Amino acid sequence: MAYDKELAAAIKAASLAARLCRGLCGFQKVQKALLQSDVRSKRGRNKSPVTVADYGSQALVSFVLQQEFPGEFSLVAEEDSIDLRKDGGGEIVERITKLVNESLTSDGSYGVSLSSEDVLKAIDSGKSEGGSQGRHWVLDPIDGTKGFVRGDQYAVALALLDRGNVVLGVLACPNLPLTSISVAHPHSPNNEVGCLFFAEVGRGTYMQLLDGSSTVKVQVSAVENPEEASFFESYESAHSMHDLSSLIAQKLGVKAAPIRMDSQVKYGALSRGDGAIYLRFPRNGYREKIWDHAAGSIVVTEAGGVVTDAAGKQLDFSKGKYLDLDTGIIVSNQKLMPLLFDAVRASLAEKAKPQP
């Protein structure tokens, strides 16, 4: 089954949201302003930051998708409007509404101006639980909010589930250079910045600039020798145990230092061959959410890569908001994957041994 209309809508929605986050008119006024203000904390133990851009991105994506598919709409997304509806939230809601309407005006497709209540309802449309029946959009409006606040890597990550299977994914990466990043030059200065990756099941993975130009098909690295491979891991140590990743790399024979980046940008970079391995081993008690991996996983697999948990099982997105995983997530090309799996298994066993 082709998903051409759905993919076009997803690209449009993610691109508009990425432009909202990056700022209009070619400079990052939104991001720079948010570095000074508008950073709040999410409810829960981790107290990770939420910005106006998270909410604005979710409202914008939700609105665009509902306009394109008004009949049946289900969205599994990270944010809700509970904090925004509390006393004192009115000014921030007005700011979000202004940003969303500016983005819609710049696009010119819909000819509407949303009220603050419209925006709050759009944010709250992301309360679906997902599951194995029907179609569900899956959104992380800003994957890597801490990276966004630092001015580093983040992504708007949007995917579509059809009966529990990821059938398309879009990663809009406003701070990712168009050409390859490396350990030596992870930010590639003096390069065009702002990429979008998109993939549809059975049709491959493509990369383009955020403005839609320079579209090319991408493939994962063909490296077969682990000594020549480089690997990605999360910037935040809470999202991946760096000591375990280091042990795995040592057993595998990887010589390069890790490239540490926030968000599913790592999936996009790996899909075009910037690195050959991605290791993610969260600390005990952390539950992986589907919006953190749905778009990225299909972007990599359609580029010829392999994405599994530490036991070698495919990721299952049909169980609701969370992924039931064995220990962590490993990503590589088909040649390296058996060697990587052996190194992971040996490293986990070594870590599990009682210390003398």
Q: What is the CATH number of the domain that holds 143?
A: 3.30.540.10
On whether 181 is known to bind a ligand per the annotation, the reply is no
pLDDT mean for each 10 residues of the chain (356 residues): 94 96 54 56 57 92 96 92 90 93 93 96 96 97 88 95 98 94 54 93 97 94 95 73 89 91 95 96 88 98 97 95 91 97 94 76
Closest CA to 272 of 338, 210, 205, 224: 205
| SS3 of residue 240 by DSSP | coil
CA distance 323 to 317: 6
Q: What are φ and ψ of residue 218, in 5° steps?
A: -120, 155
Residue at a domain's end among 218, 234, 249:
218
Residue 183 and residue 65 share a domain: yes
Report the C-alpha gap between 20 and 53 in whole angstroms. 7
How do beta strands 155-162 and 135-143 pair?
antiparallel
Contact 84, 63 (CB under 8 A): no
> Dihedral of CA 30/36/38/43: which sign?
positive
Residue that is last in its domain, among 179, 200, 218: 218
Question: Could you say which of 188, 218, 248 is where a domain stops?
Answer: 218
Task: State yes or no: 262 annotated in a binding site.
Answer: no
The CATH number linked to 327 is: 3.40.190.80
Predicted local confidence at residue 184, as pLDDT: 45
Give the per-residue pLDDT at 356: 65
The per-residue pLDDT for 88 is 84
Cα 298 from Cα 302, distance rounded (Å): 6
Evaluated on CA atoms 178, 29, 126, 319, the torsion sign reads positive
Q: Are residues 171 and 288 in the same domain?
A: no
- Rounded to whole angstroms, the Cα distance separating 53 from 18 reads 9
Residue 200 shares a structural domain with residue 326: no
Name the token pair of 158. 């949007």
Residues 155 and 51 in one domain: yes
DSSP for 244-267?
Answer: HHHHHHHHHT--SPPEEE-STHHH
Query: Are 160 and 44 members of one domain?
Result: yes
End-to-end, the C-alpha distance of the chain in Å comes to: 57
Q: What share of the chain is helix, strand, coil (3-state, %, to 5)?
A: 35, 20, 40
Q: Residues 181, 108: one domain?
A: yes
Contacts of 108 (CB under 8 A, 6+ apart): none
Residue 350 marked ligand-binding: no
Cα angle at 267 between 349 and 154, to 5 degrees? 115
Domain count, the chain: 2
Count of residues in the chain: 356
Give the integer Cα–Cα distance in Å for 34 and 353. 46
Determine the Cα–Cα distance for residues 83 and 43; give it in Å rounded to an integer.
9
How high is the pLDDT of residue 326?
77
Annotated binding residue 96: no
Q: Are residues 181 and 117 in the same domain?
A: yes
Show the domain range for 134.
4-218
Based on the domain organization, do 257 and 192 belong to the same domain? no
pLDDT at site 235? 80
Whether the CB-CB separation of 78 and 291 falls below 8 Å is answered with yes
61 and 162 part of one domain: yes
Spatial separation of the C-alpha atoms in residues 14 and 71, rounded to whole Å: 21
Q: Which one, of 325, 324, 318, lies nearest residue 129 by Cα?
A: 318
Residue 340 confidence (pLDDT): 96
Residues known to be catalytic: 54, 145
pTM exceeding 0.75: yes
Q: Are residues 271 and 160 in the same domain?
A: no
The answer on 95 and 242 residing in a single domain is no
Question: b/e map of 206-244 (b: 16 or more CB within 10 Å)?
Answer: bbbebeeeeeeebebbebeebeebbbbbbbbeebbbbeb
Q: Does 292 count as an annotated binding residue?
A: yes
Whether residues 294 and 345 share a domain: the answer is yes
What CA–CA distance (Å, rounded) separates 18 from 210? 8
Contacts of 47 (CB under 8 A, 6+ apart): 41
